[in-house]
């Protein structure tokens, strides 16, 4: 079973996280940021990842530290769970419609970090959630999972739909990328022999 368990404590956040890449999509999430809870719940469901997250953060200041640090912790959990990445597909992509929005996501668990973020979210907030934090979340994830991650809006006008489409699309892409290909189960998916 490919799992990651992260305990991350700073002066701003205290996070515990458990991830099972080979799960069924169960989640138990309490970040202190309701919109992020919703996004992580659907991320787990669409990726079929089991995900437990607890965070006590300085949300009295704002949600920035909590959202960014959970992205960091999730990236660390993916890296831990993937180990040497033997047998994984490595690449995954998805184009997901969410009502009027259409989001493309592609990922490569290459060992190199890069975020191509072209989401163009039209409003500054969804409820009380600062939409600029979506990029901070995925930047923290990409850096710590050591992956190339591209998230691009093809269409969309509703900020909630755009962000939700991005989390669903990312989940589907990652589900494909981390899946073990039985034909290559004993191989590292790189001509370098290491990822």
**pLDDT grade for 195, boundaries at 50, 70 and 90:** confident
At the top level of CATH, the class of 3-184 is: alpha beta
**pLDDT grade for 172, boundaries at 50, 70 and 90:** very high
The pair phi, psi for residue 122, each rounded to 5°, is -75, -20
Q: What is the pLDDT of residues 69-121, one digit of tens each?
A: 999 999 999 999 999 999 999 999 999 999 999 999 999 999 999 999 999 99
Q: Is 90 exceeded by the pLDDT of residue 145?
A: yes
Average pLDDT over the chain reads 97
Angle at which helix 34-47 crosses helix 64-82, to 10 degrees, equals 20
The label of the residue with tokens 């022999």 reads: 193
Query: Would you call 98 helix, strand, or coil by DSSP?
Result: strand
Whole-Å CA distances, 32 to 71, 103, 126, 187: 14, 27, 16, 41
The pair phi, psi for residue 6, each rounded to 5°, is -125, 135
Give me the pLDDT at residue 194, please: 83
**Which residues face 116 on adjacent strands?**
150
State both tokens at 165. 């489409």
The number of residues in the chain equals 195
Residues 50/44, Cβ–Cβ less than 8 Å = yes
In our burial notation (b when 16+ CB lie closer than 10 A, e otherwise), range 49-86 reads bbbbbebebebeeebbbbbbbbbbbbbbbbbbbbeebe
**Residue whose C-alpha is closest to residue 55's, from 151, 162, 137, 173:** 137
């Amino acid at each position: 079973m490919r799992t990651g368990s992260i305990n991350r404590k700073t002066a701003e956040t205290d996070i515990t996280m458990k991830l099972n890449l080979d799960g069924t999509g169960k989640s138990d999430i309490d970040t202190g940021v309701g919109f992020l809870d919703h996004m992580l719940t659907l991320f787990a469901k669409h990726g079929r990842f089991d995900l437990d997250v607890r965070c006590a953060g300085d949300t009295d200041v704002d949600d920035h530290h909590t959202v960014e640090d959970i992205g960091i912790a999730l990236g660390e959990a993916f890296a831990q769970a993937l180990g040497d990445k033997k047998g994984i597909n490595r690449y995954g992509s998805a184009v997901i419609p969410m009502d009027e929005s259409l989001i493309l996501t592609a990922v490569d668990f290459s060992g190199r970090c890069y975020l191509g973020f072209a989401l163009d979210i039209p409003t500054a907030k969804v409820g009380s959630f600062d939409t600029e934090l979506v990029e901070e979340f995925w930047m923290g994830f990409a850096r710590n999972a050591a992956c190339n991650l591209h998230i691009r809006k093809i269409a969309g006008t509703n900020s909630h739909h755009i962000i939700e489409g991005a989390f669903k699309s990312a989940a589907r892409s990652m589900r494909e990328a981390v899946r073990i290909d039985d034909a290559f189960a004993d191989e590292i998916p790189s001509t370098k022999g290491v990822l």
